[in-house]
Amino acid sequence: MPIFADENNKLFTIETKSSTYQMAVGEYGHLLHVYYGKRIGCEHIGSGFLNADLRYLVTYYDRGFAGNPNDTGMDRTYSLDALPQEYPCFGTGDYRSTALQIRNAEGVSCCDLRYQSVRVREGKYSIPGMPAVYADSEKVDQKEGTGSWGRDSADTAASAQTLEIVLEDSVLGLEVTLLYGVLSDSDVITRAVKIRNCGAQTVYIEKAASCCVDFLYGDFDLIHFHGRHGMERQLERSPLLRAEQVLQSRRGASSHQQNPFFILASRETGETKGECYGFQLLYSGNFKGEALTDQYGQTRALLGISDELFSWELRPQETFDTPEAALCYSVEGLERLSDEYHRLLRRHVCRGVWRDRRRPVLINSWEAAYFDFDADKLERIAAQAAELGVEMLVLDDGWFGKRDSDNTGLGDWYVNEEKLGCPLGEVARRVNQLGMRFGLWIEPEMVSEDSDLYRTHPDWAFTIPGRSPIRGRNQLVLDFSRKEVVDHVLDQITEVVSHANIAYIKMDMNRHLTDIYSLGARAQNQGTTLHRYVLGVYDFLERLGERFPEILIEGCAGGGGRFDAGMLYYTPQIWCSDNTDAIERLRIQYGTSFGYPISAVGSHVSAVPNHQTGRSTDIETRGVVAMAGTFGYELDLNLITDQEKETVRRQIQDYIQYSDLIQEGRYWRLSSPMENEEYTAWEFSSEDGSDALLNLIRTGAHCNSPVQYVRLRGLAPDGWYRLEETESTRHAHRQKNAGNAILANEKKLYPGSALMSAGLPVPWMNGAYQAWQVHIVREK
Ligand code: DGJ
């Protein structure tokens, strides 16, 4: 039982495998945060338990310029500006940034929550219409045609518990339920908040974070993941300032620019040691993460839906649910934190039949043909790909409406048979005849002004009355906060998908939101539009998944512009970046790996010179980098040399052979591309350390350079291992007559402890950006 609720002492403790989280009701009814960190251990005594009471950590002093709630009488030591709180509210004398801000009908912002009740129940709570972690982690039946899409919304699996703490503001008549979810096999604690108006007056929610953690002390670094289109999730680490640091998106999507995931790490924390805390939001719209160290050296971390452009009218008896946040603590460094998130997202967030199935090796038409294709050209691309072992052709943008460039056609989801030369069903049949599946690109949230949809329903695109809407990629955004808009687009796409044998959908989104005004909302409800838009996107995906449970859906937003745990609830993989340059991808995929599993990362081999950077790298290098994701190709394989084709053939075989390790194994960052100029290396290992796959890209090229060593992780220290280069690496190196240091020693056994402590010399590889991929197998 991970949750201990001591009602008499008003002390509530959550225990995961390695962490303890404690709260207590203060003398005047406020819910105080007591502790979050290394597991302390609650003791079971018969049918009861002894709750480790850590309330001694919370201290009370008379502080200057710190208000005291009126009911504390003459006690000047109780101030909400100094006390650690579980869900601090604006208007209580806490001058720090708060989690909840409520405005009443008179326009006054004040809310004062006091404890009412507690309840522990079996199973994990769910959130209506929004993504949430679920408990059941059983492997889904692998057989095709047997899978279902959703999860039971009342997830009652015994392997999870929910803690509900009810707080109340008696003046407003507001009931706020703090929800905590714990899974027996995870170090993650989930949080969400339900706000119910039990009063007689309408109130306005101006801010409602999903979580707040008040740390009593500690010198933290903030690690976050910033970026831009084509260069997403770049890790940045800096000491927390005595100032409010805000990470947020105002773009309507979680964005390329910031990611709804950040880490607070102790100064000395590294990959393999030290304390750190993860904060991840399962949400795909505007978000706000805040980290602030206050005047007393205490740190407050907040994460939730952004309060900018947000205001939610809550009428009597109505309820508002925040998105869910997933917190995680690690005392064993960043790699352990990532490992916990990887498992959580893989097993408890991603859904549907494709959660556990090996994803097909695909070829995508985008960088192979852009808008210039017909059915014959697609068949030629598919035929060559099939011959080399590729399993699916994805027809990207350009197959519908009047869409020969990215300026027109969005919204007209009917097949352009004139361009293709035949119906879409026929294209799919021709691809199927080659032994391949067929996939299709869509961008449902968007509309081009030059489209039948826009001509018929100009009011469906976000537009501010009296103004002309801002264009992005020459397109406008459909108002998905309106159900009739979602219904229409879903029905159109359903029609297309039902008439062709489609196994995969790539759902794209190629601009951010502006002109936020919904004709579907009253003036006082315009502040709900952005959140309702996200709910509309979720509704679209939920119903698409229900209608086509066997279809694999890949998320995309101009690459990784909506790469978040919320999307992963609907799409188990997301195109990681529009930047397919293997060397730039090292940084993008490195940053992404902190919060997200490899099975979520869409990654392809593309042509050289690379279309985004102009850089050329060898095909094996591009292959090794793309294998740190859901592997595929994004070029016309007819245009590469025979030698390269042979490498591709072997790459695909390697990927399929090691797919269990790659998709399900433990992932280790062996070096940082931001710090190590010589190489970037990562590894996949099986749970029991019986085998591993080492991947390394040389990023430095020097004359007569010092030998580089790479230390492995996740092996059995007492095991003995054989090293074997993968087929594609061996083939490529043989062609170049290089990198045969390991080949020469294939029969040798290496001690696991030595491979991890002393490491392995990186073989001499001539030329920039060479790759090395080695399978490491335990022999005894
Ligand atoms: C952006 C995506 O990220 C690309 O892969 C491609 O699908 C284009 N959109 C198509 O317009």
DSSP 603-669: EEEE-SS-TTT-----HHHHHHHHTSSEEEEES-GGGS-HHHHHHHHHHHHHHHHTHHHHHHSEEEE
CA neighbor of 477 nearest in space, from 443, 526, 506? 443
Whether ligand 1 lies within 6 angstroms of the CB of 283 is answered as no
Residue type, 336: R
Question: For residues 733 and 371, which has the higher predicted lDDT (pLDDT)?
Answer: 371
List C-alpha distances in Å: 759 to 690, 708, 751. 18, 10, 10
Q: At what angle do helices 642-657 and 375-388 cross, to 10 degrees?
A: 70
Tell me if 242 sits within 8 A of 220, measured CB to CB. no
Whether ligand 1 lies within 6 angstroms of the CB of 287 is answered as no
DSSP bridge pairs for 694: 683, 774
Report how far residue 55's alpha carbon sits from residue 33's, in angstroms, rounded to the nearest whole number: 9
Whether ligand 1 lies within 6 angstroms of the CB of 634 is answered as no
User: What b/e string do you get for 643-662 counting C-beta neighbours within 10 Å, with b at 16 or more?
Assistant: ebbbbbbbbbbbbbebbebb
Confidence of residue 148 (pLDDT cuts 50, 70, 90): low
Residue identified by tokens 């449902």 is 444
- Ligand 1 midpoint to CA 338 (Å): 28
Answer yes or no: 564 catalytic.
Answer: yes
Whether ligand 1 lies within 6 angstroms of the CB of 398 is answered as no
Output the residue whose Cα is nearest ligand 1's atom 10. 397
Best residue among 229, 231, 366 to mutate for probing ligand 1's pocket (most ligand atoms within 8 Å of CB) is 366
Tell me if 204 sits within 8 A of 307, measured CB to CB. no
Q: What number does the ligand 1 atom closest to the CA of 441 have?
A: 7
pLDDT tens digit sequence for 373-428: 999 999 999 999 999 999 999 999 999 999 999 999 999 999 999 999 999 999 99
**Residues 574-582, mean pLDDT to the nearest whole number:** 98
- Ligand 1 midpoint to CA 506 (Å): 9
Per DSSP, the residues of 43-68 read EEETTEEE----GGG------TT---
Output the residue whose Cα is nearest ligand 1's atom 6. 366
Residue 515's pLDDT is what? 98
- Ligand 1 midpoint to CA 565 (Å): 21
Confidence of residue 157 (pLDDT cuts 50, 70, 90): low
Question: For residues 460 and 768, which has the higher predicted lDDT (pLDDT)?
Answer: 460
Best residue among 505, 556, 585 to mutate for probing ligand 1's pocket (most ligand atoms within 8 Å of CB) is 556
Best residue among 256, 364, 397 to mutate for probing ligand 1's pocket (most ligand atoms within 8 Å of CB) is 397
CB-CB neighbours of 727 under 10 Å = 17
Report how far residue 647's alpha carbon sits from residue 623's, in angstroms, rounded to the nearest whole number: 9
Whether ligand 1 lies within 6 angstroms of the CB of 366 is answered as yes
Confidence of residue 1 (pLDDT cuts 50, 70, 90): low
Distance of CA 383 to the CA centre of its chain: 34
- Ligand 1 midpoint to CA 640 (Å): 23
Angle subtended at Cα 254 by Cα 176 and Cα 216, rounded to the nearest 5 degrees: 50
pLDDT tens digit sequence for 513-550: 999 999 999 999 999 999 999 999 999 999 999 999 99
Show the tokens assigned to 479.
């108002």
Report how far residue 526's alpha carbon sits from residue 517's, in angstroms, rounded to the nearest whole number: 6
Residue 41's pLDDT is what? 82
Residue identified by tokens 């790298």 is 617
Report how far residue 290's alpha carbon sits from residue 274's, in angstroms, rounded to the nearest whole number: 22
pLDDT tens digit sequence for 658-692: 999 999 999 999 999 999 999 999 999 999 999 99
- Ligand 1 midpoint to CA 549 (Å): 24
Report how far residue 171's alpha carbon sits from residue 584's, in angstroms, rounded to the nearest whole number: 55
Distance of CA 695 to the CA centre of its chain: 23
Whether ligand 1 lies within 6 angstroms of the CB of 441 is answered as yes
Kindly compute the dihedral angle of the four CA atoms of residues 163, 277, 99, 533, in this order, to the nearest 10 degrees: -90
Helix, strand, coil percentages (3-state) for the chain, rounded to 5, are 25, 30, 45
Residue identified by tokens 């990562």 is 682
Output the residue whose Cα is nearest ligand 1's atom 9. 558
DSSP bridge pairs for 273: none
Whether ligand 1 lies within 6 angstroms of the CB of 475 is answered as no
What is the residue-averaged pLDDT of the chain? 95
pLDDT value at 93 more than 90: yes
Show the tokens assigned to 393.
């052709």
pLDDT value at 218 more than 50: yes
Residue 153's pLDDT is what? 40
Residue 182's pLDDT is what? 97
Output the residue whose Cα is nearest ligand 1's atom 2. 558
Question: For residues 586 and 136, which has the higher predicted lDDT (pLDDT)?
Answer: 586
- Ligand 1 midpoint to CA 65 (Å): 55
Task: Given the residues 644, 664, 683, 691, select the one marked as catalytic.
Answer: 644
Tell me if 668 sits within 8 A of 685, measured CB to CB. yes
Task: Given the residues 564, 581, 584, 691, select the one marked as catalytic.
Answer: 564
Report how far residue 777's alpha carbon sits from residue 780's, in angstroms, rounded to the nearest whole number: 9
pLDDT value at 118 more than 50: yes
Kindly compute the dihedral angle of the four CA atoms of residues 412, 414, 419, 424, in this order, to the nearest 10 degrees: 150
Residue 654's pLDDT is what? 98
**Residues 705-726, mean pLDDT to the nearest whole number:** 96
pLDDT value at 143 more than 60: no
pLDDT tens digit sequence for 53-78: 999 999 999 999 999 999 999 999 99
Q: Are strands 691-698 and 709-710 parallel, antiparallel or unpaired?
A: unpaired
List C-alpha distances in Å: 322 to 208, 306, 331, 517, 761. 7, 11, 29, 22, 50
Output the residue whose Cα is nearest ligand 1's atom 11. 397
Tell me if 158 sits within 8 A of 361, measured CB to CB. no
Best residue among 367, 446, 574, 578 to mutate for probing ligand 1's pocket (most ligand atoms within 8 Å of CB) is 578
Peptide bond into 323 cis (omega under 30): no
Residue type, 615: R
Per DSSP, the residues of 421-485 read SS-HHHHHHHHHHTT-EEEEEE-TTEE-SSSHHHHH-GGGB---TTSPPPPBTTBEEB-TTSHHH
Confidence of residue 732 (pLDDT cuts 50, 70, 90): confident
Whether ligand 1 lies within 6 angstroms of the CB of 556 is answered as yes
Q: At what angle do helices 619-626 and 727-736 cross, to 10 degrees?
A: 160
Tell me if 780 sits within 8 A of 737, measured CB to CB. no
CA dihedral sign of residues 487, 490, 493, 498: negative
Answer yes or no: 644 catalytic.
Answer: yes
- Ligand 1 midpoint to CA 575 (Å): 9
pLDDT tens digit sequence for 184-217: 989 999 999 999 999 999 999 999 999 999 999 9
Residue 159's pLDDT is what? 87
Whether ligand 1 lies within 6 angstroms of the CB of 554 is answered as no
pLDDT value at 290 more than 50: yes
Confidence of residue 42 (pLDDT cuts 50, 70, 90): confident
pLDDT value at 136 more than 80: no
Best residue among 232, 510, 585 to mutate for probing ligand 1's pocket (most ligand atoms within 8 Å of CB) is 510
pLDDT value at 734 more than 80: no
402 CB burial (10 A radius; 0-12, 13-18, 19+):
middle
Tell me if 247 sits within 8 A of 264, measured CB to CB. no
Residue type, 179: L
Question: For residues 43 and 705, which has the higher predicted lDDT (pLDDT)?
Answer: 705
- Ligand 1 midpoint to CA 370 (Å): 9
pLDDT value at 142 more than 60: no
Q: What number does the ligand 1 atom closest to the CA of 575 have?
A: 3
pLDDT tens digit sequence for 321-350: 999 999 999 999 999 999 999 999 999 999
Whether ligand 1 lies within 6 angstroms of the CB of 510 is answered as yes
Show the tokens assigned to 557.
């937003």
Best residue among 363, 508, 635 to mutate for probing ligand 1's pocket (most ligand atoms within 8 Å of CB) is 508
Q: Are strands 476-477 and 446-447 parallel, antiparallel or unpaired?
A: antiparallel
- Ligand 1 midpoint to CA 228 (Å): 15
Q: What number does the ligand 1 atom closest to the CA of 396 have?
A: 7
Whether ligand 1 lies within 6 angstroms of the CB of 396 is answered as yes
- Ligand 1 midpoint to CA 554 (Å): 12
Report how far residue 605's alpha carbon sits from residue 531's, in angstroms, rounded to the nearest whole number: 36
Q: What percent of the chain has pLDDT over 90?
A: 91
Output the residue whose Cα is nearest ligand 1's atom 1. 558
DSSP bridge pairs for 164: 119, 179
pLDDT tens digit sequence for 2-23: 899 999 999 999 999 999 999 9
Whether ligand 1 lies within 6 angstroms of the CB of 443 is answered as no
* 346: three-class secondary structure by DSSP: helix
Tell me if 672 sits within 8 A of 701, measured CB to CB. no
Show the tokens assigned to 677.
């100029």
**Residues 127-154, mean pLDDT to the nearest whole number:** 68
- Ligand 1 midpoint to CA 547 (Å): 24
- Ligand 1 midpoint to CA 558 (Å): 5
Q: What number does the ligand 1 atom closest to the CA of 556 have?
A: 3
What separation, in Å, do the N-terminal and C-terminal C-alpha atoms of the chain show? 38
Confidence of residue 736 (pLDDT cuts 50, 70, 90): confident
Whether ligand 1 lies within 6 angstroms of the CB of 558 is answered as yes
Residue 733's pLDDT is what? 77
